[in-house]
Every structure is written in C-alpha cells, then in structure tokens.
Structure 1
C-alpha cells in the first residue's frame, strides 16, 4: 500500500472518528480504510487507534504519529503545489476558510464563478467563526474579520464588513420605528451570541456627535445570523446584521433599514495567505476575491 495514502486515511479516520467516514472521503470501503491503518500499525509496531463499536480514538502513540503524519502530508501538498507552479493554468485542490455568514452569503457564490473560470481546480471551503491557523491546519487562504495581528501572512484589504439595524414592516407597524439608538431599549432586539464571549447587552452606533451606546435586550438570541434573520422576517424584533446578509431582504422591502442617520460598526476584512503557497490556483482566487470584494469593487 502507498504509505502517504495510508497516512492520509489514518489522519481522516482520527479527525472524523470512524473508518466509515474516512472511507467515504476517499471513495473506498470501510474495510479498506481499516486495512490502511492496520498496515501503518504493523510498520510502527504499535496500536495507533483505540477501536470501539462507535468511534475510533487515538492512542498516546497514535496522537504523536497523527501530528507527524499531518506535517508530512502538508509537506507533500506543498511539494505538489511547487510542481504546479510549472503549469500555466490553475489546477488541483484549493482549501479556503471563511466566517460563516460572509462565506455563505458572498464567498460561496463567488467560488462557483471561480470554478467555472478554472475547470481544473476543486475547492474545499470550511466555514467557521473561530480563528484558523492556516499553516497548522493546511489551508491556503482565509477571509479574516477584525484587526490583523502581526504574522508572516500576506494580507489583501477587502471592503469593510458593515452592520445595519433593520426590522420587518409588520414589527414596525406594531411597535413603531426607533428614531435614536437609545430608543432600542424599548424594543425586542435579536442579538448574536458568540460562544466565547458574554451575551451582548449593548449595540454601538456613531454620528457626527460621536459614539452612541444603545442598551439592548430581547427574548431571542442565536449564534447563527440566518436564525436571527428568520426571526426578524417573522416580526420578532430588530436585528443588527451584516449588510451582506440582509441586502436582498432590504431591497425587496421584507426588512426596513433603521437609524439611517447613524452608522453601525464596520469591521475590517482581509484575505490572508502564506507567501509560500501562492500557486496559480491561489493567485487566480486572490485576484477574483479582490475584484469582487476589494475596497474598490463595484
């Protein structure tokens, strides 16, 4: 058996917790996935996985071997990428990560256009709001929100990630339209819950006079913008949402933009990538992201 393939199957089994999931990813049978791992165990002379009827977990030796396998596979991918530099056309697998809302509303539709223009590329898009280490986790580029920390990554500035306050016409007909940020204290506010941060108790707006802190409260909170958007469309309250997530609803009149005299916070947004991975497929991706979402995009 090819040793790199066996290592890749082993890593996928450890990540997914089952031979069946690893087999599905590689287009092989669960028995063959198990044979790949058994072959590795025979080579190293130690058990790498604790096998149960429900889930496979790493042994102590397996954990160490898993980390080394990930590094070796990343090096193999890097070697493949270098070889691809000799090709004039983008090709191969491109692994990208992005925040959930921007990735769903904006990046995924853009990727379909990118794939149409680059038929020899396949894209794996991972959507998560957690910080992703590109090098350690094997991604070639990421969309990042907020200020960037110092790093070895190259960054391309994109349009600011703007938030807007809005509510449905039905809600406003029943509760009235807030004219100032402070008036939100009298309304049901649908707030986003971050898993690692305290629950929001205030939204911030600004105008020529400075910043305005608006105390908020409400009976519905969620860690997914789509859930909050569904609640807002059903007349459950006011939402402070990314503009990219509500632009169609605003254009159709299903939501009404509020507090037009005030600006909600806008977060910096960047595309970041390691310089060592600037392959043709990645360069083509960077060009398209900047063209569609850069600071001067239409």
Structure 2
C-alpha cells in the first residue's frame, strides 16, 4: 500500500473517531481502512491505535506520529496548490530583449501596467540594437524592428514604426527650412548605424523621392540621434512615436508632413512551446494590447495632435 495514502487514511481515522466513520468519509470499506492502519504499524514496528470493540485511542507514539502526518499532508497540499496556481497565475522570471531606443522610450514607461497584472513575475531586460539569437542566448521573448528572416520562432506583428523627418528650430533658423525632400541633399544629417548611409525614401502618391543627405554624424543609439538633433546638429529620420513629445514641446519640428515615409515592421518573437507558461502568455497579451496593430491609429492621432 502507498505510504502517502496510508497516512491520509490514518489521519482521517483519528479525525473521525473511528474506522467506520473514516471509511464513510473516504469512500472505502472499513476493512480497507484497517489494512492501511495495519500497514503503517507494520512499517513502523509499533502500534498507533489502542482498539477495543467500543472505542479507539492513540498510543503515545501514535499521538506524535499523527501530528507529523498532518504536517506532511499539509505541505503536500500547499505544494499542489502552488503547482496549480503556477499554471494559471504568472510567476517566475522572464528574460526580454528589445532595441535600445524602443526599450528606453516606449517599453519601460509601459511596464508598470504589466507589473499591475503580473506582480509575481520578475523581468530581466537586455536592451541592444543587435539581433539577438533568443534560443542560443536564453531569452524568452524579443521585440524586433525590421524584416524578419525565416525562423522556427513564432512572430506576432505589432504596430509598425512610422518614420518621421525632424530638425531643431535652431538648426532650421541657421540653415533654412527645406520645402521639398530633394533639398535635403544640401543639409547636414545625423544617421543611425548600421543603415546611416542608405538613401531616405519618401513616397507621396505616385511620386517617390530618394535623397541622400550629408551624414555628418553617425551614432549607434537612437536616443543619441534624437538628442543630437535637439542640439541643432542636423536633420534626422526616426520613428514618429519617439519624436512626438519633442515636437509637442517645440524642441523639434516635423518636415514634410504631407509625405509618407516608409514604415519599419515591428514584431514580437518567441519560442514555439506547446505548453506555454502563464508568465510568457501574459507578456505576449500585454505587448499585443500595448503595441499591437490596433494602436497604430492611436499613435498617428497622437503625432498629429502634437503638430
């Protein structure tokens, strides 16, 4: 007979006051109750109960042993409850990687809302503009800007990065405000590596202008690109969601608002896992709600209201 089950039967026998009462509670025969108790006594080499035809009582050893059994059963019950809760309640550690500027300017300010719904999840976040191999480097999930290569990972589309061209009022006062994208060829620009030297593409209806401004500074941080523009060092092309607050504050001015710059796709990628942990499903649901395709219109309206 199983030791754990015999402990359960023994504790029930003591709690109910008799083997017949324990058998009724447990749904087994009185004879089976007696066999479980006898199996424990044989294993321990001592009696647990003093039994007569009218009553039963615990032996001295039985008194201490039943308390130990209760403690063991309680611990197992708590462990079972924790295991069940872990399948429904997010908990544990999540390793996340995201592009530096997106992580700093967009993800971090939103994380308190995630903490409100998943307070038992700890976050280990790495911000880098390198395309991390999440399988090799042990990440659970990654925010990724740009086209995705073929992959065995799952990708969920988020709202795309809409690009915007801006410059500081001080720079425009010194160098003049261009009326057409072609005029950018004579302007200083700040480029974000590694694509700093690529032409800027501006479509408008059937027209498409490709222009290569003079890149005077290249830097590998989107936040640094923005700060350089605010300092009047040149024109920049950056995601609109990162520039909205500066436009509203008058620190930057949008150029060519009637021209629609190319979008950069934004995705959430994670491992294929047929038994997805609640902590992973919770961050996926949060990211889709916060940054999914449905928020694209909201972001556009936010940018327009800042102009």
Q: Same fold (TM over 0.5)?
A: yes
2:245 to 233, 245, 248: 248
**In 2, distance between residues paired with 1:84 and 1:275?**
22
Q: Does 1:229 find its partner at 2:226?
A: yes
Helix, strand or coil at the partner of 1:263: coil
Deviation at 1:147, TM superposition (A): 2.0
Report 1:249-264 matches (<5 A): 249-264=246-261
Q: TM-score, normalised by structure 2?
A: 0.65
The corresponding residue for 1:153 is: 153
What is the match of residue 302 of structure 2?
Answer: none
Q: Please, which runs of 5 or more residues in structure 1 have no aligned partner?
A: 1-82
Per the alignment, residue 162 of structure 1 pairs with 162
Distance 1:110 1:212 in 2: 36
Is 2:123 the partner of 1:123?
yes
User: 1:85: how far off?
Assistant: 7.8
Which segments of 5 or more consecutive residues in structure 2 lack a partner in the other structure?
A: 1-82, 299-307
SS at match of 1:159: strand
Q: TM-score, normalised by structure 1?
A: 0.67
The 5-angstrom pairing of residues 255-294 of structure 1 reads: 255-276=252-273, 278-294=276-292
Aligned length, in residue pairs: 213
Point out 4+ residue stretches in structure 1 off by more than 4 angstroms: 83-86
Other-structure match for 2:293: 295
Tell me the CA shift for residue 193 of structure 1: 2.1
Alpha carbons 1:201, 1:217 under 8 Å: kept: no
1:130 Cα deviation after fit: 1.4
Residues 56-95 of structure 1 aligned to structure 2 (within 5 Å): 86-95=86-95
In structure 2, the CA distance between the partners of 1:112 and 1:86, relative to structure 1 (3 Å rule), is closer
Q: Distance in 2 between matches of 1:134 and 1:234?
A: 36
Q: Secondary structure at the match of 1:160?
A: strand
